[in-house]
Amino acid sequence: MAIETAPAFVTTTVNGYTIRTTTTSSPLSVNTNSLVSAIILPSADAIENKKIIVGIDIKVAFTDVDIHLKLQGSHNGTDWIDVETLDSSVTHSTGVQPYFVDLTGVYTPNFRFHFNSSARNVGTSGTLQFFFAYK
């Protein structure tokens, strides 16, 4: 399994909330690879110690339904730990899958999303967008 990186986040603001969304990922090059988001820096996106909405928007369906989606943290942007398992059985259907995350008391200089960290065979046609929102 190799780790592939999704496109960078773009920012919109709605009713005073910051919404960060990636553009649609490319399909995975190998069916057991995983996909991570660009690093989320709390110095730029103030998500530490907050309750936020996060999720994925599956644009083209994946082939496996037991896909793990995690929010991870790191002290150096290289070594990662799971902060929250958002879902251990992500549906492979298209559409938005939102999650509520309580980061109260969680402080780390780096966050990221990790999709298919368990290296399931998800095929090579699926695509998605990561997103998160906070105030």
Tens digits of per-residue pLDDT, 55-66? 999 999 988 767
Residues 84-99: pLDDT tens digits? 999 988 876 899 999 9
CATH number of the domain where residue 117 is located: 2.60.120
Closest C-alpha to 48, from 56, 40, 39, 60: 40
What pLDDT, on the 0 to 100 scale, is given for residue 10?
A: 97
13-71 pLDDT, tens digit each: 999 999 999 999 999 999 999 999 999 998 899 999 999 999 999 999 988 767 899 99
Residue 1 has pLDDT above 80, yes or no: no
Parent domain of 74: 3-134
Average pLDDT, the chain: 93
At 67 the pLDDT is 87
Q: Is the pLDDT of residue 76 over 90?
A: yes
**Cβ–Cβ under 8 Å, residues 69 and 131:** no
Task: Tell whether the model's pLDDT for residue 108 goes beyond 90.
Answer: yes
Q: How many domains is the chain built from?
A: 1
Query: What CA–CA distance (Å, rounded) separates 100 from 55?
Result: 8
Q: 11-19: list long-range contacts, CB under 8 Å, 24+ apart.
A: 16/135, 17/133, 17/134, 17/135, 18/45, 18/133, 18/134, 18/135, 19/131, 19/132, 19/133
